[in-house]
Chain A
Amino acid sequence: MTAESADVLIAGAGPSGGVVALRLAQAGFKVVCLEQGGWLDRADYPGDKLDWELKARKDWATSPNLRGLASDYPIVEDDSPVSPLMYNAVGGSTILFAGAWPRMLPSDFRVRSLDGIADDWPLDYQELLPYYYRTDRQFGVSGLPGDPAYPPDTEDAPMPPLPIGAAGMKVARAHTKLGWHWWPEFNSINSVPYDGRRPCVQRSTCQSGCNEGAKASADLTHWPKAIALGAKLITGARVRKLETDAKGLVTGATWIDGEGAEHLQPAKVTVLAANAIGTPRLLLLSAGPRHPDGLANSSGLVGRRLMMHPFANVAGLFEDPLMSWQGQFGDLIESLEYYETDEKRGFVRGARWGLAPTGGPINTALPSRAGEQIWGPDHHTHVRTHLGHGANWGLFAEDLPDEANHITLSATVTDASGIPAPEVHYSMADNARRMLDFHIERAKESMEAAGAYKIEVDRLMRYSGWHLLGTARMGDDPKASVLDRWNRAHDVPNLYVVDGSCFVTSSGVNPTSSIVALALRAADHMVETRFEQQVPA
């Protein structure tokens, strides 16, 4: 079945797809989006219910392999110590993301120039900054202006900061004593009523969906506005392949509905916003006689250079009650003290630290992520001393690009529509391993200074692949990159990629604020160049 042609077809209704859809709909484009998941009702999120911690481990798990929902596709991850995490629905992974909203730093765009490794981006911090301001307003960001770890801003966050809690105060005082950087975290979570959405209630269940609608998810912040302007969003639509013409232009996408029926959605321009696993999967699935190694892949880099931010957790236990099961599960505070390169440490680049709440009693009682099990009479002591008495530093290590870390298509595993599943091949580099070891030791010092009587460390957690990046990188050289500086495929002039696939290097910060700023920049470019855009006949 063939539909009416769209000006722009978007695959994926997550945050980057939402940003592009809204911008283009505002400019009068006829936008159609295909999303394999559906709309969610935040009343169904488990965070305000007694079975929250039970359901957070299954239907609301961050791993599609654990959820196994019809809207998910399996990921073959036997060859990776880290599991990619995502959510497939209108709103995409913002449904379950924590909401932490740091920006990349100026040095992140110049890794090759500054540190002699990896690559520089084709743009710099100052070029992206105006887009950060605009997307901060669109998503709604709470934060304290003036962090001296960043260049001075000309525009403040639209809302005042969220509270940092008793745990945040302890650690902030410790960092003051140590002379180390800390700052209240910027989160895309309302601290006051904003844009028709309620403020945060500190329930700390952000990663199971926000019952209040206080956390910015694209199903709330973007899609209703884009649809009101005429964008068409088709849910339950799983894209199988991008179609091309004799000139090498994309003519649209073939997609499969929930009953297995196949459809064709023609379009003048196609935008992939399916995350750094889903997007290369689609490009590889779209191989044809004129591009046997996958669409837009003359560089051979589609699916390569996967980066996922190796992650460790350093938890301090304190005698006094901190009620640390409450608070935004974005972050309370962050530290960039050891973010920039110092080669004396034995590695290049650095890591961002984010201090987070510690979860409820079921999380506390079960074996820890490090495998520690406390049963028998001591179990009660364990729960009493841990529940509400902890502070957790999450350490996000910069993951440098490595072509050996890549996505392929499985020869044996398919999704429910019979489409080959992605296979992830990933290992952590020595540089990242040394970086995590160093940062773990510094984070332990932070917790000791804060007065922790016991410190527990989880190294390289499996279920930590929240940040999927790099599998269709940007660059000026078509031989060494998939996309140009405007997120357009070098090989296919009417194909854009606007998700985290476009990242050249990973930085060491949570990437969503940068992904959406880049997506808005790409959408602006599409609007500005609309009359020069090549389209299929």
Chain B
Amino acid sequence: MNGEIDDPVTALDAAERATLAAVADRLIPAAHGMPSAAAVVDDARLRFVLNARPDLLEPLRAALRADLGEDVEVRLDRLGRDEPAVLYALQLVIVSGYYTDTSVRDLIGYPGQMALELRSWEVPPYIDEGLIDAVLARGATWRDPATGARAVVADLPRTYAERFSDPAPTNQGGT
């Protein structure tokens, strides 16, 4: 892993920042009610990304270097052809800065990975709908090594209710 620096944003000069904004606008422009990545990926977002992933700074600077010219399309084409890992780093920085922004998340209806409470005591809807019964009704489907054919099991439960009216010994909760 690369060593972290105090403020990774300061490692980019004005020309590199301008190129980053131009590329960000090309990849994620303002459209369909969404802001452009250039407007969203400010110092704070860039700092967040590069603090989380200091290893991205070096390929990011490589992607923004002047010798790739001013034309964004040409820059992206050349990186895609000659330096795909560098292009990927550039895309990852822009996308990550954009989609970790709160207002962008609100606009796309994404609240983040939420902690939800399980309700494991409730009967699952697939049982209420009879979807398990449909599987059980087909009978055993495993291949019996003794015959090489589909297993035949006498008295296999054909409904969920039948299965649980005479349950197998259980170890619920035990270790």
- B10-18, B62-70, B127-135 - interface stretch: B127-135
Q: How many Å from the CB of B123 to the closest CB on chain A? A: 10
Contact present for A325 and B131 (CB under 8 Å): no
Q: Mark A366-402, 1 if CB is under 8 A from B, else 0.
A: 1100000001110111011001100000000000000
Which B residues are in CB contact (< 8 Å) with A365?
A: 95, 98-99
Which A residues are in CB contact (< 8 Å) with B132?
A: 144, 146
Which residues of A in the span 159-213 have a Cβ within 8 Å of any Cβ on B? 159-164, 168-169, 172-173, 176, 179, 181-184, 191-192, 194-195, 199-205, 212
Give Cα A341 to B148, complex, Å.
10
Give Cα A14 to B125, complex, Å.
36
Contact present for B113 and A375 (CB under 8 Å): no
A411 within 8 A of B: no
For chain B, what secondary structure do more than half of its interface residues adopt (helix, strand, loop), or is it mixed? loop
Give Cα A93 to B26, complex, Å.
40
Which B residues are in CB contact (< 8 Å) with A535?
A: none
Q: Mark B127-171, 1 if CB is under 8 A from A, else 0.
A: 001011011101111111100101101001100100100011111
Contact present for A114 and B145 (CB under 8 Å): yes
Give Cα A105 to B150, complex, Å.
12
The tally of residues in B whose CB lies under 8 Å from a CB in A reads 69
Which A residues are in CB contact (< 8 Å) with B163?
A: 145-146
A156 within 8 A of B: yes
Q: How many Å from the CB of B138 to the closest CB on chain A? A: 7
* Of A154, A159, A336, A340, the contact of B172 (CB 8 Å cutoff): A159
Give Cα A176 to B129, complex, Å.
11
For chain A, what secondary structure do more than half of its interface residues adopt (helix, strand, loop), or is it mixed? loop
Chain B residue at smallest Cβ distance from A115: B148
Taking A137-B174, A326-B114, A387-B110 as contacts, is the C-beta distance between A55 and B53 under 8 angstroms?
Answer: yes
B8 within 8 A of A: no
B112 within 8 A of A: yes
Taking A51-B48, A58-B55, A384-B108 as contacts, is the C-beta distance between A151 and B142 under 8 angstroms?
Answer: yes
A429 within 8 A of B: no
Contact present for B32 and A161 (CB under 8 Å): no
User: How many pairs, one residue from A and one from B, have CB atoms within 8 Å of each other in the complex?
Assistant: 224
A54 within 8 A of B: yes
Chain A residue at smallest Cβ distance from B147: A114
B22 within 8 A of A: no
Give Cα A16 to B59, complex, Å.
39
Taking A114-B148, A340-B143 as contacts, is the C-beta distance between A362 and B169 under 8 angstroms?
Answer: no
Give Cα A365 to B41, complex, Å.
15
Contact present for B171 and A366 (CB under 8 Å): no
Taking A48-B113, A376-B29 as contacts, is the C-beta distance between A54 and B96 under 8 angstroms?
Answer: yes
Chain A residue at smallest Cβ distance from B52: A51
The winner among A125, A133, A360 for most chain B CB atoms within 10 A is A360
Contact present for B115 and A48 (CB under 8 Å): yes
The winner among A138, A326, A380 for most chain B CB atoms within 10 A is A380
Which B residues are in CB contact (< 8 Å) with A68?
A: 1
Contact present for B145 and A106 (CB under 8 Å): yes
27 A-B residue pairs with CB within 8 Å: A50-B112, A51-B96, A54-B53, A58-B55, A125-B145, A144-B132, A145-B167, A146-B163, A149-B140, A152-B153, A154-B168, A155-B168, A156-B168, A156-B172, A173-B131, A176-B135, A181-B138, A191-B120, A192-B120, A201-B116, A203-B113, A340-B150, A360-B113, A362-B92, A362-B100, A380-B32, A387-B110
